[in-house]
Amino acid sequence: MLLLSTILMALIALAFVLLPVIKPGMNKQTLAIIGLLAAVPLSAMIGYEFGISRNAQVPATPGAETTADSAPDPAKMVAQLENKLKDGQGTPEQWAMLARSYVTLQRHKDAAAAYAKATQSITDDAQMFADYADALAMSRGGLDKDSEALIDRALKVDPLNPKALALKATVAFNNKDYQSAINLWEKLLTVPGLNQDWVNVTRGSIDEARGLMRAGK
């Protein structure tokens, strides 16, 4: 039953990787590369929850198709998890799951608070720090010093975390520090396994930043 509950909670957390932080002046290529980072298979999501390698194969269960009538109610499942954690206890993994679920429901302030709980004990998960930074930025209407500090923590753990690199480049671009943004996007291009769509969009971002530099904007 616990296994089933965990898998169902994973279903509502598909968008945990990223919701773009939109600020005036952000280029379309930046938004596109951030959006591409949200394309995470369900098998990878479930693997993440159970600590399974993202390279591991997760076999499909025959006859397990979900219909509209049998689909779980995300809000109800979140309420159930909230009830389990209402005393402030719970594992870091449970708080992280709740945070990602809040992001899916666009409850970004609650997501940031849940990530704060999760990261009290988990200090070596670059993706979690990047997700926390994004949720915090969404709750405050943009990237600020606090979210940037979380991005830096993510990059300290994993200098090639794609989401953290994309967010860090966005900070630089918004500050018109185009050379730093270019450097970060070029680093993003070195991430192993980066698919061609990401490569194309990142190169477009680099071209735009270089154009703005030439124009003196």
In this prediction, residues 175-198 reach a mean pLDDT of 94
pLDDT bracket for residue 76 (50, 70, 90)? confident
Average pLDDT value over all residues in the chain: 75
pLDDT at 211 over 60: yes
pLDDT of residue 191: 94
pLDDT at 207 over 70: yes
pLDDT at 3 over 90: no
pLDDT tens sequence across 113-152: 999 999 998 999 999 999 999 999 999 999 999 999 999 9
The DSSP result for the chain, as a single string, is -HHHHHHHHHHTTTT-S------TT--HHHHHHHHHTT---HHHHHHHHHT--TTS--PPPTT----TTT---HHHHHHHHHHHTTTS-S-HHHHHHHHHHHHHTT-HHHHHHHHHHHTTT--S-HHHHHHHHHHHHHHHTS--HHHHHHHHHHHHH-TT-HHHHHHHHHHHHHTT-HHHHHHHHHHHTTSTT--HHHHHHHHHHHHHHHHHHHHT-
CATH architecture for the domain at 2-52+74-215: Alpha Horseshoe (1.25)
pLDDT tens sequence across 144-174: 999 999 999 999 999 999 999 999 999 999 9
pLDDT of residue 24: 36
pLDDT tens sequence across 40-75: 432 233 233 333 223 333 333 344 454 555 556 777
